[in-house]
Structure 1
Amino acid sequence: MTSIPFDIVGFDLDGTLLDTSGDLAAAVNYAIATDGRPPFAVDAIRPFVGKGAKVMLERALSASGGYDEALLARMLPILLDYYEQNLAIHSVPYPGLMAAIEGLEKAGVKLAICTNKAERFTIPLLHQIGLFERFASVVGGDTLGVAKPDPAPIHEMVKRAGGGRTIFLGDTINDIAGARNAGIPSVAVSFGFLDGAVETLGADAVIDHFDELLPLLQNWPG
């Protein structure tokens, strides 16, 4: 195997490593049903995802009749509690992920996660999917009290994984801007929870499937 010029490959979680849209949609639908609102299809909720549970709920409420702050404040804990109890009913790794992970491990590359998802959801989800042990470090959105695009969580991810040359994969502007702010290159995944054209994220490269990841990294310039 051609060597990979990175010590660490970091990943966002939702919309990058895992398609969590089914479980997030179920949580949204459970919450809005308490206000008598009809459920969304999973495909309709995907564009709401990517900037945290509160924004996801705000978008769903806006699209289903509007809301005020009191309604949002009542519904958000309902959504979060339901989601915490149903993290991995429908969530699955994206196609090609497991083969890519195995290839990276064989190449001696460490894997790491930096997500804006809170640790109370992130750690159990990774355990339930069976992926937690594959990652040298996992940093959540509340690990440091700041989240991407602030570079601090990505720096912490790198530090906890042992340090070294790092590249980061993500599907939103928070991921790509976070990597840029941290001074590391980035790869955008076009299959994630995009709210616009993937090219607008400004990543150093784009992949459409995890089958493309190892060849991309093996041929990375420099």
Structure 2
Amino acid sequence: MDRLAVFDLDGTLVDTAPDLVDTCNVVLAARGIATVDPARLRYEIGMGARAMIEGALRINGVTLGADELDRAHEEFLTHYASRIDKLSRPFPELLAALDRLTVENVALAVCTNKAEGLARQLLDALGLSPRFVVVTGGDTFAVKKPDPAHLLQTIALAGGDKDRCVYVGDSRIDRETAAAAGIPMVGLTYGYSDVPMTELAPERLLAPGEDVGAAILSLFVDEVSAA
């Protein structure tokens, strides 16, 4: 394998917030807890479903015991799996990037804090799975992002070389992961970060509509046709 591009999933490859937020609010409502405005809850997505529920509870000033939180998490996963692609759609810029990178013989992988099974289910439902040589989730290894080992082990599993890899993400978690792993990053400004990507200084910063594929290619040091 010559070059590898690794992508976050939620807020990077796919706009999953509508299905995730609706699911979280169903879990809250079942417990008599006020639902949370989607604009606030979307920034709780990056660390996975359980952390999202905990974030929604914090917003409401509510604490659940460990057993009840476990039950809420299980209900979330069950309900979300039943509607995983109801509203979620790939970002058009990313579909175009996947097409271009495939033409350029760049291998593709996914590294997400979403449970691996749910990540694969979503990619299958959207017809994207065949594009990726590897998909890893927050439960694939003993660690998950922002631990750089999650990204580094994903690269190793894909048969890649960290010195010939670019990471693409949308959040503070992604930026911390890439920086700790020593891998250049394309940062997208339209995802779910609790800190604006403009403040996180990725190697390339892209707004909606910009050419993600060209940005990725530009970060491979010997790339001569980035534009």
Query: When the two structures are superposed, what TM-score results if normalisation uses the length of structure 1?
Result: 0.89
Code of the residue aligned with 1:136 in structure 2: it is V
Code of the residue aligned with 2:72 in structure 1: it is M
Return the match for 1:91 from 85, 88, 92: 88
Q: Alignment RMSD, CA only? A: 1.9
- Cα displacement (A) at 1:214: 2.6
C-alpha separation in 2, matches of 1:198 and 1:74: 34
1:22 has 2:18 as partner: yes
Residues 122-179 of structure 1: CA deviation (Å, up to 9, x unaligned) = 1111101110110111111111121012222212221232213001011122212212
Q: Relative to 1, partners in 2 of residues 1:101 and 1:147: Cα closer, same or farther, differing over 3 Å? A: same
Code of the residue aligned with 1:106 in structure 2: it is V
C-alpha separation in 1, matches of 2:208 and 2:169: 13
C-alpha separation in 1, matches of 2:197 and 2:219: 20
Report the more deviating stretch, 54-63 or 205-214: 205-214
- Tell whether the 8 Å contact from 1:100 to 1:210 is kept in structure 2 after alignment: no
1:206 has 2:200 as partner: no
C-alpha separation in 2, matches of 1:144 and 1:74: 23
C-alpha separation in 2, matches of 1:110 and 1:157: 12
- Cα displacement (A) at 1:193: 0.3
- Tell whether the 8 Å contact from 2:170 to 2:193 is kept in structure 1 after alignment: yes
C-alpha separation in 2, matches of 1:179 and 1:65: 33
C-alpha separation in 2, matches of 1:221 and 1:154: 17
Structure 1 segment 157-172 matched on structure 2, within 5 A:
157-164=154-161, 165-172=164-171
C-alpha separation in 2, matches of 1:69 and 1:201: 35
Gaps of 5+ in 1: 1-5
Identity level (%): 35
- Cα displacement (A) at 1:49: 1.6
1:146 has 2:171 as partner: no
- Tell whether the 8 Å contact from 1:170 to 1:187 is kept in structure 2 after alignment: yes
- Cα displacement (A) at 1:39: 3.2
Return the match for 1:43 from 36, 39, 44: 39
Gaps of 5+ in 2: 222-227
The alignment of Structure 1 onto Structure 2 pairs a total of residues equal to 217
1:126 has 2:94 as partner: no
